[in-house]
Structure formats: structure tokens, C-alpha cells
Amino acid sequence: MASHRKSRPVGTRVAGIRTPALATAALTSVALLSQSANAAPTDDKPSLEEVEKKVDDLYRQAESATDNYNAAKEKTATQRKQVDTLLDDVARRTEKLNEAREELGSFAAAQYRTGAGASGTATFLLADTPQDYFDQTQLMGRLTNRQKGAVDDYVSEQSATMKKRQEASQSLQTLTETQSDLKTAKATVQKKLADAREMLSELTAQEKARLAALEKQKQEAAARKAAELAQQQQAAAEKAAQEATAPQESTSTATDSSYATKAAKALAFVRAQIGKPYVWGATGPDSYDCSGLTQAAWKAAGVDLPRVTYDQVNAGTTVSLADAQPGDLVFFYDDISHVGLYIGNGMMIHAPKPGAYVREESIYYDGESAIHSVVRPA
């Protein structure tokens, strides 16, 4: 016998309410979307590690821009001296030209008074005696020769003066362009530093504390790496001393002694600067940027280094890291945007970055891969 019960519709109950299959699927989708929304992050705020990397990158970019600023500033100073020299030369030549012009005028007046340009007969008529005529003729001959020389000198001086004026004009134009480059480089540095400060200002106190902890861990790892290098260098030095022959040892000792004497002066100077602030573009005595510090240190030892890092890297002999000696320059990054003064045992003294102070630190402060080269400047 057939059942009279109505078939139950396919579906499920939600809160006691019978729902069709389509509604069930919709509710399931809503639930899944809700779960996904709850699981998704509320914002795309970067991690502390990402913030640290971005800030470090900005400081590096600022330091690279600082080198461009320093180079433009040095070039501007040199060109300004050239322009001043050229303008002084033009002024002297103009004065000399005016004197030559006055001399030509005096010749013209003398000719007028003595009848220059007139025929011999007319000139003779002005003379009282044949002897007077002879004397006047001789005088006019001398005046003519002197006048010709004066005209030649005037033309030559006029040409030289015009050439110098053109050189001065070109130098002024170049100076203007360099000053524009200087302004651009300065704006770039300021922008990078402002971006770094803004990123740091957005961190909470807790995040700043965690960032400081990360930096401490990084420094501890760098210190361990420096200690390893110190041990390797010590072992290498002892081995070299044992293997060296007497003549080689004598020559090497003399060379090392000469360099060590100069390096000691550079090191004494740089140690005295510890605690002074990093200021981009500064060369002392109250503040320094990285290359300003190394330049000042070696100047105290009687050695003149160029102003910027990418010139300093070529101002000496490149040596291996294993052979680094106190006083050597350690350069960093592919763009050679940072430099420090090696003091031995894997350590250096450098002006790190804006907001920091001249300090002693491991040469591995930013990892082994950051080291570009080591240069012995004397």
C-alpha cells in the first residue's frame, strides 16, 4: 500500500528552519568567506625585519647620495676658484688693454703735433733749418716703429682678453650646472633621511624595543665573526714569521715599520673622534661622515686622501682581508658607499650613519657579503 506521507524536501535545518539545498550552499559560502576574512590580516604592515631592512637601505642610499653631494661640493669649490682666477686675469688684461689704447692715443697726438702723415715737403716747411728737418724725420721714424709695435701689442692683448672672457663665461656656466647638481644631491640625501625617520616614527615603543633586540643580535654575530678573523690573522702572522728568511724579514720589517708609524698617527686621531656625531657632508672637527673621518685621520698622519669613498678606494694598494693591518681602509657595498678605518682584530672605527656617532664596531656589522675591499693608503 502506497504511503500517503509527503516526501521531505532535500535540505538541512539551520536554527530549526528548513532550508533548500541552494540556500545551504549559499550559507556555506558565506561561512567560508567569513572564516577567510577573519583569518586574513587586518593590514599589510611590514614586519620588523622588513622595516629594519628598508631603513638600512634608505640610510645606505642616503650615504651614497652624500658621496655625490661631497663630490659636487668639491667640484663646485674647485670651479669657483677657477672662475675667480679667470675673472682676475680678465680684469688685469682689460686694464692692460686700456693702457695700450691710451698709448696709441698718445702716438696719434704726437703725430698730429709733429705733422705725421703729411708729405716730406710739408714737414720740411715746419722746420727752421735742414738739421731741424733731419731731427724731426728721425723722431717720426721712431714714433712709427713704436706705434706699429704698440698696435701689434694691442691687437694681441685684445685677442687674449676676448679668449679669457670666453673661458670665464664657460666656467661660469659649468659652475652653475655643478651648483644645480649639488642642490639635487642635497635634496636626495634629505629625502632619504626623511623617509627613514618617518618609518621609524611609525613604530610603537614595543616594536622599537624588539628592533633594538634584533640589532643587538646582529652586533653579537658580527663580533663573533670579527673574533674569528682575529684568530686567523694571528695564526697567519705567526706562520709568516716562522717561514720568513732573514733578508725578506728585514725588508718586510722596514716596510711594516714605516707604515705602522703613519697608521699609529691615523689611529690615534680617529680614536679621539669616538662619540662625535655623524653628519652627512661633514669633515670635522665636531662631526663627520664616513669618508670625512677617514680623510681627516690619514691627514693627521701626513697622507692626503681624496674626499669621497669611490676615490679613496683607488688611493692605495688593495690587500686581502686576511692581510688587513691597523690603519687600512675597509670599504663596503657594491657601490663603495661606506668606509671605515681598520684597527685590528676584525674591528674598525667609523662614522656609521645619520643619528649615530663615531664608534668602534666589527667590520662584519652588516654581514660578510657587505665588505667590498681593503686598501692600504700609504
Residues recognised as catalytic: 290, 338, 350
* Contact predicate 349/341, CB 8 Å: yes
- Whole-angstrom Cα distance, residue 233 to residue 243? 15
Give the chain's radius of gyration (CA, Å): 41
- Nearest Cα to 302, choosing from 261, 361, 351? 261
Q: Where are the alpha helices (DSSP H) in the chain?
A: 21-39, 48-114, 120-126, 130-201, 205-243, 246-272, 290-299, 309-312
Q: What is the largest CA-CA distance in the chain?
A: 175
* Contact predicate 338/332, CB 8 Å: yes
- Output the DSSP codes for 63-114: HHHHHHHHHHHHHHHHHHHHHHHHHHHHHHHHHHHHHHHHHHHHHHHHHHHH
- Whole-angstrom Cα distance, residue 146 to residue 126? 23
* Cell 663573533 -> residue: 224
